[in-house]
């Protein structure tokens, strides 16, 4: 059974490799479900990690419906991953009605070329998962990462098993809440791969920061923070 570890840093990737992981999904910002890692992180991981690495391509947090500019950014990031020699891409696009955006996902798949492609947990928002699976098989996806449309993969086990039965060429990869206490559930059901972060919060400062740099107001699935013309223009007008 392949064990994929979602690593949010070089340190995490090196630890996962040392612990026996078969593959890394490299990203940043686990708190928002993962974002595309920086060029610096990509380069360092490629130089120092020897097991296969698949890179998450997600330009921002929030929903999975992207503008033309955002899609172009994603394609550019994929091109960089191909150039750097990574093994796979993790991404996907939905319409705003939560159906798979086949055309835009196809653009990402074509940009990835020979690299393996995982359709990520945007799948857990789709209305009809069996229909979505058929669409992704037509796109020749290699993996679908999903919790079975529940808050954790153990809770979504029934749908995960149904998806596996309906899949002819895609490997269903359970992810979210997978740990040593429940991984046997998935192995016993014949899944070929599982996905986990294996993280714990580690204290890195000995003193308490004077003010927080985290903002809960930016954490949203249906809103995206966008600079407002009026807000900036009014400030510029007052000071120039």
Query: Across residues 192-199, what is the average pLDDT?
Result: 97
pLDDT of residue 226: 92
pLDDT of residue 49: 98
Q: What is the pLDDT of residues 56-104, one digit of tens each?
A: 999 999 999 999 999 999 999 999 999 999 999 999 999 999 999 999 9
**45, 8 in Cβ contact below 8 A?**
no
Burial class (CB in 10 A: 0-12, 13-18, 19+), 1: exposed
pLDDT of residue 189: 97
**126, 163 in Cβ contact below 8 A?**
no
pLDDT of residue 191: 97
Q: Residue 41 — pLDDT band, cuts 50, 70, 90? A: very high
**149, 124 in Cβ contact below 8 A?**
yes
- Among residues 40, 66, 43, which one has the least CA distance to residue 53? 43
pLDDT of residue 173: 98
CA–CA distance, 13 with 24 (Å, rounded to integer) = 7
> What is the chain's mean pLDDT, rounded?
97
- Among residues 143, 153, 158, which one has the least CA distance to residue 179? 153
**186, 171 in Cβ contact below 8 A?**
no
- Among residues 105, 96, 99, which one has the least CA distance to residue 139? 105
pLDDT of residue 239: 97
CA–CA distance, 173 with 192 (Å, rounded to integer) = 7
pLDDT of residue 154: 98
**195, 165 in Cβ contact below 8 A?**
no
Share of the chain above pLDDT 70, in %: 100
H or E, element range at 25: strand 23-26
pLDDT of residue 30: 95
Residue 145: helix, strand or coil by DSSP?
strand
Of the listed ranges 138-147, 172-181, 209-218, the least confidently predicted one is: 209-218
CA–CA distance, 164 with 69 (Å, rounded to integer) = 35
């Amino acid at each position: 059974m392949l064990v994929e570890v979602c690593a949010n840093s070089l340190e995490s990737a090196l630890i996962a490799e040392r612990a026996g992981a078969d593959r890394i999904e490299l990203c940043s910002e686990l708190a928002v479900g993962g974002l595309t890692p920086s060029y610096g992180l990509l380069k360092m991981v490629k130089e120092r990690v020897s097991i296969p690495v698949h890179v998450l391509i997600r330009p921002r947090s929030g929903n999975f419906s992207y503008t033309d500019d955002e899609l172009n950014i994603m394609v550019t990031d994929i091109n960089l991953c191909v150039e750097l020699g990574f093994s796979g891409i993790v991404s996907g696009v939905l319409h705003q009605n939560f159906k798979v955006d086949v055309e835009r996902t196809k653009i990402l798949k074509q940009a990835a070329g020979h690299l393996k492609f995982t359709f990520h947990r945007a799948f857990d928002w789709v209305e009809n998962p069996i229909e979505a699976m058929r669409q992704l098989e037509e796109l020749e996806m290699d993996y679908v990462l999903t919790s079975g449309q529940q808050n954790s993969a153990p809770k979504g086990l029934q749908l995960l098993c149904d998806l596996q039965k309906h899949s002819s060429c895609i490997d269903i990869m359970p992810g979210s809440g997978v740990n040593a206490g429940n991984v046997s559930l998935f192995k016993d059901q014949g899944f070929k791969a599982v996905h986990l972060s294996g993280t714990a919060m580690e204290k890195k400062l000995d003193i308490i920061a004077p003010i927080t740099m985290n903002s809960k107001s930016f954490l949203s699935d249906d809103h995206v923070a966008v600079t407002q013309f009026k807000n900036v223009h009014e400030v510029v007008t007052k000071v120039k």
